[in-house]
A and B are shown apart, each in its own frame.
Chain A
Amino acid sequence: MRPMFAKRTRAEADAAPDALVSRRVFLKAGAAVGGGLLLHAVLPPAVRGAMAAPAEAGSLNAFIRIAPDNVVWIMSKNPEIGQGIKTMLPMVIAEELDADWSDVRITQAPLDQARFGRQFAGGSMATPLNYDPLRRVGAAGRQMLVTAAARQWGVPVAECTTGSGAVAHAKSGRSARYGELAAAAAKLPVPDLASVTLKDPKTFKIIGRRIPGVDNPKIVTGQPLFGIDVDVPGMLYAVFEKCPVFGGKLKSANIDALKALPGVRDAFIVRASEANPGGDPQGVADGVAIVATRWWLASKARAKLEATWDEGPVAAQSSAGFAAKAKELAKGEPDSYLRRDGDVTGTLKAAAHRVEASYAYPFLSHLDLEPQNCTAHFHDGKITFWAPTQNPGPGAKLVAATLGISERDITVNMTRVGGGFGRRLRNDFMAEAAWISKQVGAPVKLLWNRQDDMRHDFYRPAGFHFFRAGLDNDGKLIAFADHFVTVGRRGTPADSANMDPNEFPAQLVADLEYGQSVIGSGVPTGPMRAPRSNALGFAFQSFIDELAHHAGRDPVDFRLALLGEPRVLVNSTGRPNALRDFDTGRMAAVLRKVADVSGWRDRAALPPRSGKGVAFYFSHLGYFAEVVQASVAISGDVKIDHVWVVADVGSQIVNPSGAEQQVQGAALDGIGQALGQAVTIDRGRVVEANFDAVLPLRINQAPPVEVQFLATDHPPTGLGEPGLPPVIPALCNAIFAATGKRIRTLPIDAAMLKA
C-alpha cells in the first residue's frame, strides 16, 4: 500500500505566525515596461511558526504598476478559490496608494515564490499575513508619487496631498494624476517600508467598503475562467482510473481494446512504482490513463475498461470496523496523553455529578463543485500548467519529483478555482496530468468525473471522543477527560486527524486530561475548511452543553462561568503563538453579544419542538460565537430557522461584502455537513459516488444567517474558516433544546428525532 503518512504536512494554517509580527520589509523599484511605476516589495522569507514544517524559502512581494493613462495595475498573488482574495488584497494596496478603485485593474500572478513569497489559499492566513505588508507597499508607492510631484512643482512634500489617484498642492492650486507622475516616481529611491506613513483607518475610502468580486462580470456572462475552461491548441483530453481501494495495485487492463475505440489516441497503464517511487501520498497511484480527442470520448472508452486490481491490505478496512475498534479502545487506557493536569480520576470519584458521553463523526469529502482537473503541456524537458490549485508551490515540487525535472522548468499558471475547501491544497491532479502529458507528448487536460472526485479525496478524518466529566454541588465543572480515538498509522494521527493539547477547556479546569489512541487506517486524509476544528467543535461544544444541562445552568451562563476573567491562556509550549493562545475575554464578549442579538433570553417563548442552541469556537485567529434556532417536525426532519453569528476578527473588516459571504457560507457549509454528509468506507473503498448520496446543502434548507463583527483592538485576521466550527454544535444543541435528544453522532439521524 501507499504510505499515507510518509511525512506530515501540517495544515497551512500553522504557517508562519511569527510573520504576523514581522515588520521588516524592503522595497525595490524599477521602471515598468511602458514607463510606469513598478513597485517590487520584498519581505524577508516567511518565518516559520512554532509548530510548522520548515517554511519554504521565499519572500513576500507585491506589484503595483501605474500606466500613463492612470490605470493602476495591481498583482494578486494568491489563488482565488472563492474566498475573495483577488479583490481583497488589491484593495489593501489601493487604499494606501490612495488610488481611485475605478482606475484599478487586477492581474492574477503566476507561481513565482521568489518574487511573491508564499502563494497559497489556506488557513485563513491571507489577511493576517498580508494586511500590514501590503498597506506598506501601497503607502510606499504613494510616497514616491508625492515626492515626484513636489520636485516637479518645487514645493515641500509636506504641503502635498493625495486623493483618488492624484497629487494636489493646495497653495499653488496645482494637481496631477498618478499617470502623469508615474514615470518620474519610478526613478526615485524606494522608501523604507518599515517607516512609511500609513493612513489613519478613520480616513479609509476603499478598505471597509463593500466591493464586489473583480471576476464577477466574467462569471455572470459565462466567460472562461476556471481550470476546466482552459483550452490549449492541440490539446487532448484524459481520464484516469485508479483502484477503488486506497493503495491498490493494477494487475492488468484491456489496453489494446481501449486503444481501438473511437477518438482514443492513447491508453496506457500507469505504475506508481515508476511515477511515484517515493510513495508520496499525493503522488501518482496505479491506474489506467485514456487519452482521446474529446473528454466525452475518453469517458465512453473508460466505460469499456476491464481492469483487475490487487486491492491490498486496505480492502479489509471499513467505517464500521473503525467504529467498533474505537469502542473497544475506549474501554482501555489511551495509547498516550496529549495533556494530563491534576488528578482527574480522584476528582471524578469525589464529584457530586458524573457525566459520560461518546461522540463520533464521519469521514467527509470536500465536494468541490468543479471536479479536480488540470491542464499540462510537457515539451522539451519542461512543463507548463494551467492548474486550479490552492497550493501551487508544493504542486510544482511534487511534479518535479514525479518527472525528475527541476522546479525551474515548471511554469504554473493559476486559474480561478471552482471551490477549494482544502481539497486543492493537495496536488495529486497536477502529478497525474504531468505524467500523462509526458507520456503522450501533447498538451493534455485531465478531468475527473464526480465519482473520481468523491472516491479519491483527502478526506476530513473520522474520529471518536469518549468524554467523562465531573460537576460539584454548585454545578461547577471540576474534572474533564477526553479519550480521543483517531485514525492514523503506527500510533501517529493521519493528516489533520490530530488534536491540540490546548483544546478548550484546557487550562480552565484544573483536573483535566486528553488521552489519544490511534486506529490503523489507509484512508487518505487532509485539511478541510477549519481542519480539526470542524470536528472538535462539534464534540467539545456539544458535550459542554450536556454539562450545562446537568449543572442546571443556562448554556450561555455556564460557558461564561467557565471562561472566567478576561485573560490570555498561553498554549502549553509556554511560547506565545497567536494561533494557539486563547483570549477568554474576546470569547466572552462575542458570546454575550450573540446572546443579545439572537434573543437568547427570550427563547422560552418558542413553540414546542423549536429550540435555540449556542456554541463558540476559536480557530484561525478568529473568535466566533453562534446561535442556531431549529424546529424538529414530528417526522424528525430538522428545519433550521435562523443563525446568528458574532465574530471578533480584529480591528478592520477589509471588504464587508466578501467577509459577510465567507461567514454565511461557512455557517451554511457546517449545517450541510451536519444534515446530510458522510463518506462511508467499506472494503477499503468509498461507498458514495455522487450528490444523491452525499448531500450538499440546497437553497430550500438554507436559513438566514445574520452576521455581526465586533471590532476590537487586535490585528485583522481571516474569515474563510473560523465561522464553520461553532455552527454544528449550536445546531445540535438547538435540537436538544427542541426535543430533549442529544445528537452525538454525525450526520444527524432524523429517525432518531421522531416524536
Chain B
Amino acid sequence: MAFSIEVNHVKHTVDVDGDMPLLWVLRDELNLKGSKFGCGAGLCGACTVHLDGHAVRSCIMPISAVGNAAVATIEGMADHAVGKKLQAAWLELDVPQCGYCQAGQIMSATDLLGKNPHPTDADIDAAMAGNVCRCCSYTRIRAGIKKAALSRSTSAR
C-alpha cells in the first residue's frame, strides 16, 4: 500500500507493506544508506533517526506508524543547527573507528542537545546508553558532545 513520508524536508511516496520498518524504507526504497541495521530489535541504536525531532529506533518503527511525522536522518544533519555542530566536532576530534554506529550516535546526540544544551556526563550517559559503539569510541563520543555543546553556546552569543 502507498504511504506518504517526509524525509529531510522532502516528500516521498512509497508502495510497501505497512509493517515494513522505517529503516528499510529509508535504506532500500529511498536509497538513504546512512541509517544502519545492527540488531533489528531496538537494542543497538545504529538505526536511530528523528521523528518530529525525537530520536527513535527506525528498525522497529513500522512505516504505518510514522503517519505525518517529519523524518530526519543523518543525511539531513548538515542542514540541522545542532546536527552540523556535532558533525564538525566528530571530525575535529576524530571520533569514528569503524564508523558504523556513528550516524546513530550523532542522531541521538542531536536529540539530546536539542533538549539539554549543556548535558553533564550523567545526562550524556543516560541519553546515549542505547547507542552501542562496538569499537568503544565512547571517550570521544562524550568529548564530541561536549565540544558541540560549547560551540553552540559560543555561536549563540
Contacts and interface: CB of A to CB of B under 8 A. Distances in A.
A220 B126 contact: no
Interface in A240-266: 262
Contact of A215 (B33, B36, B99): B99
Contacts of B138: 668, 697, 699, 702
Contacts of A210: 94
Interface in A681-710: 690-692, 696-700, 702, 704-705
Interface in A203-228: 210-213, 215-217, 219-226, 228
B94 A216 contact: yes
B97 interface: yes
Contact of A699 (B92, B102, B103, B131): B131
A44 interface: no
Contact of A370 (B36, B40, B142): B36
A369 B139 contact: no
Contacts of B46: 369
Interface string B123-157: 01110110111111111111000000000000000
Given A295-B24, A418-B100, A229 B44 contact: no
Interface residues of B, number: 60
A700 B141 CA distance: 12
A101 to B, nearest CB: 14
B94 A699 contact: no
Nearest to A82: B98
A296 B21 contact: yes
A367 interface: yes
A418 B36 contact: yes
Given A212-B91, A296-B20, A84 B101 contact: no
A513 B100 CA distance: 45
A450 interface: yes
Contact of A221 (B20, B39, B77, B92): B77
Contact of A700 (B106, B126, B135): B126
B32 interface: yes
A83 B98 CA distance: 7
Contacts of A420: 98
A228 B36 contact: yes
Contacts of B102: 219-220
B28 A296 contact: yes
A515 interface: no
B101 A661 contact: no
A417 B98 contact: yes
A704 B138 CA distance: 9
Given A219-B99, A449-B40, A262 B75 contact: no
Contact of B78 (A219, A221, A449): A221
B52 interface: no
Contacts of B140: 661
A753 B114 CA distance: 40
Contacts of B39: 450, 690-691
Nearest to A224: B33
Query: Which of A213, A237, A367 is most buried by chain B, counting CB atoms within 10 A of its CB?
Result: A213
B34 A691 contact: no
A557 interface: no
A368 interface: yes
Interface string A126-164: 000000000000000000000000000000000000000
Given A371-B37, A704-B139, A696 B99 contact: no
Interface in B36-56: 36-41, 43-44, 46
15 contacts: A82-B98, A82-B135, A220-B103, A221-B75, A223-B33, A225-B99, A294-B24, A294-B28, A300-B17, A419-B135, A447-B37, A658-B94, A698-B132, A699-B129, A702-B138
> Which 8 A-B pairs rank lowest in CB-CB distance, beginning with the nearest?
A222-B34, A82-B98, A418-B100, A222-B74, A668-B136, A700-B125, A219-B99, A212-B94
Given A211-B94, A420-B98, 4 more contacts: A221-B78, A228-B36, A665-B137, A691-B39
